[in-house]
Amino acid sequence: MVIVMNDDRISDVEAYLPLARAFVEDSLQHEKGCLAMEVTTDPKTPGRVVYFSKWESEEDFRATVGGAIFNKHIPQMGKFFLGSEDSIFYI
């Protein structure tokens, strides 16, 4: 199992969050190996949005990038995206 932290920078957090929450719900319902996922904000760092997710394997997580759920949501979310740093922790 892995915990993944996606530490994103977003231009308009208020507009982005509803889209991010829809992505999380869709991922939880349809992504193979997705056991848990939360999207959070950092009130001390404007524009910072962090996803924490738990996956059965790193392969399951990596398979989502470019997959159906990702491609469904990224066009709307992408216009607010400035950058990201991902970390994977094995448990």
Q: Please tell me the CATH code under which domain 2-90 is placed.
A: 3.30.70.100
pLDDT at 66: 87
Instruction: Pick the closest to residue 35 from 47, 52, 19, 23 (CA basis).
Output: 52
Neighbour-count burial for 52-72, b at 16+ CB within 10 Å, e otherwise: ebbbeeeebbeebeeeebbee
The residue extents of the domains of the chain are: 2-90
Phi, psi for residue 54 in degrees, rounded to 5: -120, 130
Q: Note whether 3 and 37 are within 8 A (CB).
A: no
What string of pLDDT tens digits covers the 91 residues of the chain?
999 999 999 999 999 999 999 999 999 999 999 999 999 999 999 999 999 999 999 999 999 988 999 999 999 999 999 999 999 999 9
pLDDT at 29: 97
pTM of the model as a whole: 0.93
